[in-house]
Structures are given as structure tokens and as C-alpha cells.
Amino acid sequence: MYRIEKRFTVPIGHRLSKNKGRCFSIHGHNFTILVGLKSEKLNKDDMIIDFSDLKSIVGSLLDQYDHTLLVNKIDEQWLKPLADKMCLRSMIFDNEDHDPTAERLSQQLFFKLDKIFSDMKIKFKLEYVTVYENENSKAVYSRE
């Protein structure tokens, strides 16, 4: 089995509405995102995928998150006026009552990338997405 991993960094703001501590307040991180792929076989270029192609694919998804404030759907009522007034790029994290935690972000990115790769009919499998809030704290969402 062949495996590769590519690292990305993206600055994202978020607020954890369910948190009882300081993460309840709006704050941000330079998130490090690791994307792991696996394949039984290599392509005609003896690669799972060219790293520059992987950078383009994942980078175009992460651009949607770059310098964006992610919030729980329950925060929608105050977000729009604040975003308009302060010219904030903002995004409701999902249509459920989920906070944009590292765990949920790794899951969301995994499903979005898995769909992108599936639509491209690529022969490798997305194995995991790891999200680091900082060098000491990470969350992983994997196929298994």
C-alpha cells in the first residue's frame, strides 16, 4: 500500500458556542491541515497523485475557509449584522447544531474532499484529514 500526505496552512476564525471556556469568544488559529491518501497502485507517472495537483485541488477548497469566521448555525442571528458592519468573511459551519471544532472541521473537510476525489474518478482513497489548531492539539477524521 502506498501512502502520501500533504500539509496546508489556513487562517480561520471561529467561535465555539457550546464551550464554557475562552473558546466561547471569537478567536482564530493558523490551522495546519494534513491530507492523507492511499493507493494500491501508482499512476503512469509512478505517483499516487502529483503533489502540485493535490495542492491545487485541496487549496481551492481551503480558499473558501481562508480568513473566514466559522460559527454554529445558532449564531446566524447576530452574525449577519456583525459581518456586514465589520466586513467579515463569515460562514455558517453547517446546517446542524455543530460548533466548528477541530473535530468537526476535520470531518467536514474529509467529506468534501472525498466527494471531490470521487467526482474526479480518481483511483486513490482519501485516508484521513488531520486538523491542528496548534502544534500540540490535533483532531483526525479517517475512513476507519
Contact 3, 38 (CB under 8 A): yes
Give Cα separations from 120 to 93, 113, 117 (angstroms).
Answer: 25, 11, 5
Nearest to 29 by CA among 111, 127, 143, 139: 139
CA pair distance 89, 75, nearest whole angstrom: 14
Query: Which of the pair, 92 or 124, is modelled with greater confidence?
Result: 124
pLDDT in tens, 53-98: 999 999 999 999 999 988 888 887 777 777 777 767 777 788 788 9
Give mean pLDDT, residues 118-123: 89
Among the residue ranges 20-24, 44-48, 93-97, the one predicted with the least confidence is 93-97
pLDDT of residue 31 exceeding 80, the answer is: yes
Q: pTM of this prediction?
A: 0.92
Distances (CA, A) of 18 to 1, 9, 98: 40, 26, 9
